[in-house]
């Protein structure tokens, strides 16, 4: 099996490569990265030593793409993954468009030319922000949780958000690049007859993730807490009750492998995957976990709401479980433990990540 991983020096791409070498005998991994993410360079040597055929190239460049060897599958893990991407002015929105959507056109062309299957790492951010903001919630143990007595909107159960939840705009510029990529991927796959699988991932987290306040929140929070840096509860009355589920890319790798191995060509192509209710934590609960591990460090309060922020996001992976017998194995405490160990061993991680 030959797999091309775009963004192979990023957090998810590098973890997937590692997982495939462990799980798939004789796998050949080709990796491409332009190292634009601060910290990506730190994964270069590790990837090469592991056996990745690493190509320093940019997906935006058709000539860089033309130099790629043939592969059976492409996993697209190259993108600017921040929901706040494109808001900075000074060409930020154009850059987001070029990296996340324009470049994806080149990936699709590669799949067409090589007859390679495509696994698109989409995002929970394709879901409608007003619909997410209207989910009936209550406060439970310093975290927002679904209010089960209220009727729930389509696509939402007490287990979380599923594929049927609204994707109506606004969904953020980042979310829109992913939703547009999904549509283009399905259309290319149907027109040129190559398999396409789309996974709308919730928050992915783990040791070695590049964390900033805008993206990679679990890694950022643990690193910043450990070093007594400024951490803030933004919006939601400064409660820190905003909650997310988290899962590790190793668990995602198992789902992607199941998708690559199935011979099914019909039926559902889009899946929602994430940590689920058991792997959900609020910022206040994450702070309590860090307090216990590193000693107390209180976040500042900034009650002013931030654009695109939502109080609660938990993924319902029931369809992935039903169709691929998939479920996560790594509990959130193990994910946090890994991040904490890594943070202790890498005192400059926030600088590496340009946090």
Q: Collapsing DSSP states into helix, strand and coil, what is residue 218?
A: helix
Which C-beta is closer to ligand NAD: that of 7 or that of 195? 7
Residue 308 CB, nearest approach to ligand NAD (Å): 14
Name the residue nearer to ligand NAD (CB basis): 32 or 118. 32
| Partners of residue 243 on adjacent β-strands | 282, 312
Of the pair 9, 226, the CB lying nearest ligand NAD is at 9
Q: Which is nearer to ligand NAD, 122 or 265 (CB)?
A: 122
Look-up: residue for tokens 């997937």?
16
Q: For the CB of residue 103, give the shortest distance to ligand NAD in the complex, in Å.
A: 5
Binding site for ligand NAD (CB under 6 A): 7, 9-13, 32-37, 40, 58-60, 77-79, 81, 99, 103, 121, 123, 201, 203-204, 210
Residue 297 and residue 225 in contact, taking contact as beta carbons nearer than 8 Å: yes
Query: How far is residue 201's CA from residue 275's CA, in Å, rounded to a whole number?
Result: 9
Closer residue to ligand NAD in complex, CB, 81/276: 81
Backbone angles phi, psi at 327, to 5 degrees: -150, 155
- Residues 6 or more apart in contact with residue 4 via CB below 8 angstroms: 29, 30, 31, 32, 68, 71, 73, 74, 75, 110, 116
| Residue 314 C-beta: closest distance to ligand NAD, Å | 14
Q: Which is nearer to ligand NAD, 59 or 226 (CB)?
A: 59
Q: Which residues of 262-299 are buried (b: 16+ CB within 10 A; e: fewer)?
A: eeeeeeebbbbbbbbbebbbbbbbbbbbbeeebeeeeb
Output 291 or 351, the one with its CB closest to ligand NAD. Answer: 351
Under 8 Å CB-to-CB from 30, ≥6 apart: which residues?
Answer: 2, 3, 4, 5, 52, 53, 55, 68, 69, 71
Q: Give the SS3 label for residue 135.
A: coil
Question: To the nearest whole angstrom, how small is the minimum distance from the Cβ of residue 62 to ligand NAD?
Answer: 12
CB of 14 to ligand NAD, least distance (A): 8
Round to whole Å and give the CA distance between 199 and 315: 11
- Smallest separation (angstroms) from ligand NAD to the CB of 297: 24
Provide the minimum distance between the beta carbon of 217 and ligand NAD in the complex, in angstroms, as a whole number.
Answer: 8
CA 300 to chain CA centroid, Å, is: 27
CB of 85 to ligand NAD, least distance (A): 10
Question: How many H-runs (helices) and E-runs (strands) does the chain carry?
Answer: 13, 17
Kindly give the interhelix angle for 173-192 and 103-114, rounded to the nearest 10 degrees: 20
Q: Which residue is nearest to ligand NAD (CB)?
A: 10
Nearer to ligand NAD by Cβ, of 33 and 316: the residue is 33
């Amino acid at each position: 099996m030959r797999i091309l991983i775009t963004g192979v020096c990023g957090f998810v791409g590098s973890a997937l490569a590692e997982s495939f070498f462990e799980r798939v005998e004789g796998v050949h991994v080709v990796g491409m990265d332009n190292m634009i993410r601060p910290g990506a360079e730190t994964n270069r040597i590790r990837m090469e030593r592991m056996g990745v055929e690493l190509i320093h190239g940019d997906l935006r460049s058709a000539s860089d793409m033309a130099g790629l060897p043939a592969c059976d599958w492409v996993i697209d893990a190259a993108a600017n993954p921040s929901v706040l991407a494109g808001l900075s002015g000074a060409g930020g929105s154009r850059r987001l468009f070029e990296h996340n959507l324009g470049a994806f056109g080149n990936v699709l062309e590669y799949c067409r030319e090589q007859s390679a299957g495509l696994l698109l790492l989409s995002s929970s951010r394709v879901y409608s922000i007003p619909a997410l903001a209207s989910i009936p919630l209550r406060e439970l143990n310093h975290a927002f949780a679904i209010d089960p007595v209220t009727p729930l909107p389509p696509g939402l159960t007490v287990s979380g958000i599923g594929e049927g939840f609204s994707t109506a705009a606004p969904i953020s510029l980042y979310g829109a690049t992913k939703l547009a990529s999904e549509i283009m991927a399905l259309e290319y796959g149907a027109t040129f007859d190559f398999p396409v699988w789309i996974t709308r991932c919730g928050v992915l987290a783990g040791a070695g993730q590049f964390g900033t306040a805008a993206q990679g929140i679990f890694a950022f929070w643990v690193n910043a807490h450990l070093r007594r840096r400024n951490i803030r509860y933004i919006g939601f009355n400064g409660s820190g009750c905003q909650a997310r589920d988290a899962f590790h890319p190793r668990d995602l790798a198992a789902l992607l492998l199941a998708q690559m191995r199935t011979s099914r060509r019909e039926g559902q192509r889009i899946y929602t995957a994430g940590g689920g209710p058991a792997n959900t934590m609020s910022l206040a609960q994450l702070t309590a976990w860090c307090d216990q591990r590193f000693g107390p460090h209180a976040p500042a309060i900034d009650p002013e709401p931030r654009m695109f922020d939502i109080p609660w996001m938990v993924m319902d992976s029931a369809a992935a479980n039903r169709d691929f017998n998939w479920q996560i194995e790594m509990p959130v405490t193990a994910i946090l433990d890994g991040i904490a160990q890594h943070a202790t061993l890498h005192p400059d991680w926030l600088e590496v990540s340009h946090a």
